Amino acid sequence: MAEPHSATAQPAAPPAAAASQRSGMLLFLGALLAFACYDAFAKQMLFHYPATLMNLTRYLAVGGMAAVLLWRHGDWRVWRQPHQRLLLLRSLMLAIVATSFMTALASMPLAEATAIYFTAPLMMVALSPWVLGERVGRVQWVAVWVGFAGMLLIVRPGGALPLAGTLLMALAAVCYALFQVLTRRLAGLVPAPVQFAYMAAVCLLVTNLPALFTPPVAWPGPAEWALLIAGGTVSGGAQLLLLAAFRRVSAATLAPMNYLQLLLAVLISTFWFQRAPDGVALLGIALIMGAGVYLALPRRLK
pLDDT score at 252: 63
Q: Is residue 256 part of a domain?
A: yes
SS (H, E, C) 73-142: HCCCCHHHCCCHHHHHHHHHHHHHHHHHHHHHHCCCCHHHHHHHHCCHHHHHHHHHHHHCCCCCCHHHHH
Q: Is residue 123 part of a domain?
A: yes
Helix (H) or strand (E) holding 245: helix 222-246
Q: Is residue 101 part of a domain?
A: yes
pLDDT score at 302: 44
Q: Is residue 13 part of a domain?
A: no
pLDDT score at 10: 38
pLDDT score at 2: 38
Number of independent structural domains in the chain: 1
pLDDT score at 8: 35
Domain of residue 120 covers: 24-296
Mean pLDDT by 10 residues, the chain (302 residues): 36 62 87 93 93 92 88 71 84 93 92 89 78 75 88 77 89 87 76 82 90 78 94 91 79 75 90 88 90 72 44
Q: Is residue 208 part of a domain?
A: yes
Q: Is residue 95 part of a domain?
A: yes
Q: Is residue 80 part of a domain?
A: yes
Q: Is residue 4 part of a domain?
A: no
pLDDT score at 301: 44
